[in-house]
Structure 1
């Protein structure tokens, strides 16, 4: 569908309208209730579903399944990133009523970065096909690291963009509502902690995109499918954060499901010239891998929680969060 201008114009116009409504019309500072978060998640999922229907109708069945598969992969990978966002908010002490706005601005920055990544990735693959072997090998390596690495700590203080921003701008100690720039008592302008939060959120998502975008490129190199599935998954991640923030630690086996997904799409990318895997089969494999990992998180006993219960006074006993 990438060769049809009306498709690009229509989707990006819809994207701009929805972002405008979120930023300007619905952008008042407020603490997001669970009801609002659930409704927001349903809304963005419905928008993605409607776009998928349009692709099926005006495109082809293959393109429709490609979008659905890419969207599910992106959405699944985003769940694993919610813990990182929670750490960032805790580190900066972001008041609850400002978290929605911080996430939205962070996502706007992430969308811009992803658009550049996607355009570059599609162009490189179309111009130099052997690069798919490099990307496929990278995904398999990432899958291995994800499956074998232990708990990793997230330290926003090590974020290079944050360090650079602090060198370039004077940063105020306190939040000034949702403002990104404030005026100090002496009259000087300074960046607010809110701006620092947005910088860290956006640049952190760039790191996530290094894994997720090659995964989608392994499914399809249709620029519109890659862009639209990415955009919908990223925008849907914002309300999903408030739904799953308290529960994400319980998906302790999700990393293995994600590792299986990354390994599979990496293999698919490398072997595409010799072994053609139908898109519907890819979709089934991805759904099964994610379902098994999430089901295992629910039904298998958590030994770390058992240890904590039996030894409540032991310093450093794990909470069983897996993070």
Structure 2
């Protein structure tokens, strides 16, 4: 896929315009985001992603469009699981409801910039060393296995990462929020507020999630342009999804299992492709293995099928046994 520089610039510019529109319309006056408002924005961003995918189909063909949609759906579904942690962060830092949208916006913009760096590094590695797919595949299989064993419950607490601890060492932090301000001066001394801390928490936590989502999407497409845009659209719609899902999030009790299956499936796909294109001298004399590979159409069908089964099974289980729903802190549903 030949993507000229002007196309990269136009795409990034368009994404920035969407973010600016969102910022002006939604955050012009801080308020608590309603379910109806969140639903309209989710539909808007999903429609934008669909139009972008159709544009790829028209200009570059069905293969690349299918890769984009497979990557977008995978990234979006992985992001839903990330919302559990976002809820825990919001509860831990007691973020006022009227400022939660801004926190997510800034945090996710930071995450998108850092993911762009990850994507560029991953693309460079893949271009130089095809055997990196062995590492990506094994990592995804391991991550899928870990995710299947994961439990989100009301006793789970957010533990500050290295980036947050470094921020606290460099800057003094106020005890209270000061509206939506991130920095404030008190008696001539500059402080950061809990608003800034929670933004860093959201951004840095999402960066950790990129460690499995970036290898996963590279298992579906090797095109950096498609990897970046799929991530961008998934992240941009994540804020509104946070407010829209609300109590439904606690009912997706089998989501981690479904995502673990998807990660494991993509991991196997990567290893098969690595074997199929093998050039490592200590494996089969540097010759490719004659193994089957998994096409993108099959991958897309598996991803959609697993997510559908996971969602239906979760809702059916909770309907029959309401006590099975997850509990994510006392404030989880108070958006």
Report if TM-score (shorter chain) is over 0.5. yes
1:130-176 Cα offsets, whole Å, 9 max, x none, are: 01001000000111111134447653343221111111101111111
1:305 CA displacement: 4.6
2:176 aligned partner: 174
8 Å CA contact 1:253–1:293 kept in 2: the answer is: yes
Q: Does 49-58 or 158-167 show the bigger shift?
A: 158-167
Q: Does 292-301 or 125-134 show the bigger shift?
A: 292-301
2:326 aligned partner: 321
1:275 aligned partner: 292
1:126 aligned partner: 127
TM-score (norm 1): 0.91
1:300 CA displacement: 2.8
**Do structure 1's residue 36 and structure 2's residue 37 form an aligned pair?**
yes
8 Å CA contact 2:137–2:268 kept in 1: the answer is: yes
Q: Distance in 2 between matches of 1:151 and 1:33?
A: 25
1:58 aligned partner: 59
Partner-residue secondary structure (3-state), 1:190: strand
1:25 CA displacement: 5.1
**Do structure 1's residue 293 and structure 2's residue 310 form an aligned pair?**
yes
1:89-136 Cα offsets, whole Å, 9 max, x none, are: 111111111000000000110001100010000110110010100100
**CA 1:301–1:178 in structure 2 vs 1: closer, same or farther (change >3 Å)?**
closer
**CA 1:200–1:138 in structure 2 vs 1: closer, same or farther (change >3 Å)?**
same
Length, aligned pairs only: 310
8 Å CA contact 2:318–2:325 kept in 1: the answer is: no
8 Å CA contact 1:142–1:262 kept in 2: the answer is: yes
Q: Distance in 2 between matches of 1:15 and 1:301?
A: 38
User: Counterparts in 2 of 1:1-323, with a 5 A limit?
Assistant: 1-24=1-24, 26-28=26-28, 29-151=30-152, 154-184=156-186, 186-272=187-273, 273=276, 274-300=291-317, 305=322, 320-321=325-326
What root-mean-square deviation, in Å, do the aligned CA atoms of Structure 1 and Structure 2 show? 1.7
Contiguous gaps of at least 5 residues in structure 2: 277-290, 329-335
Q: Distance in 1 between matches of 2:25 and 2:2?
A: 31
2:287 aligned partner: none
Give every structure 1 segment of 4 or more consecutive aligned residues whose post-TM-superposition deviation is greater than 6 Å.
Answer: none
1:186-218 Cα offsets, whole Å, 9 max, x none, are: 232110110000000000001111111100000
Contiguous gaps of at least 5 residues in structure 1: 307-318
8 Å CA contact 1:80–1:255 kept in 2: the answer is: yes
